[in-house]
Amino acid sequence: MKKRLNGSQILVEVLKKQGVEYIFGYPGGACMPIFDALVDAPEIKIILVRHEQGATHMADGYAKATGKTGVVLVTSGPGATNTVTGILTAHMDSVPLVVLTGQTITPNLGKDAFQEADVFGVTMPVVKHSYLVRDVKDLSRIVKEAFYLASTGRPGPVLVDLPKDVVSEEWAEDFSAKMDLPGYSVPKSGNSNSIKKISELLAKSKRPLVRETLDWLY
Same domain, 191 and 168: no
- Considering the domain boundaries, does residue 159 fall inside one? yes
- According to DSSP, residue 30 is labeled G
pLDDT at 215 over 80: no
Q: Does one domain contain both 46 and 94?
A: yes
pLDDT at 213: 63
Residue 178 located in a structural domain: no
Does residue 179 lie within any of the structural domains?
Answer: no
Residues 91 and 46 in one domain: yes
In angstroms, the CA 139 to CA 184 distance is 19
**Average pLDDT score over residue span 178-206:** 86
- Per-residue pLDDT band for 214 (boundaries 50, 70, 90) equals low
Q: Write the Ramachandran bin of 67: left for phi over 0, alpha for psi from -120 to 50, otherwise beta.
A: left
CATH number of the domain to which 73 belongs: 3.40.50.970
Counting the structural domains of the chain, the total is 2
Share of the chain above pLDDT 70, in %: 95
Are residues 26 and 111 both part of a single domain? Answer: yes
* pLDDT score for 218: 47
Q: What integer is the mean pLDDT of 35-52? A: 98
The model's pLDDT over 69-100, given as tens digits with 9 standing for 90+, comes to: 999 999 999 999 999 999 999 999 999 999 99
Mean pLDDT in residue range 112-140: 95
Residues 77 and 103 in one domain: yes
Report yes or no on 182 lying in a domain: no
66 and 153 co-located in one domain = yes
In this predicted structure, what is the pLDDT of residue 210? 74
Catalogue the E-assigned strands of the chain.
Answer: 3-6, 22-25, 45-48, 70-74, 97-103, 129-132, 157-163, 170-173
* Residues 155-171, mean pLDDT to the nearest whole number: 98
Contact criterion met (CB below 8 Å) for 5 and 137: no
**What pLDDT score does 2 carry?**
80
Please check whether residue 11 lies inside any domain of the structure: yes
Range of the domain at 13: 3-173
Residues 78 and 157 in one domain: yes
161 and 212 inside one domain: no
State residue 193's pLDDT score.
86
Considering the domain architecture, whether residues 205 and 116 belong to the same structural domain is answered as no
Residues 140 and 213 occupy one common structural domain:
no
At residue 36, the pLDDT reads 98
Q: Is residue 78 part of a domain?
A: yes
**Structural domain includes residue 200:** yes
Average pLDDT over residues 16-42: 98
- The verdict on residue 180 lying in a domain is no
Query: What is the average pLDDT value for the chain, to the nearest integer?
Result: 93
Q: Are residues 34 and 123 in the same domain?
A: yes
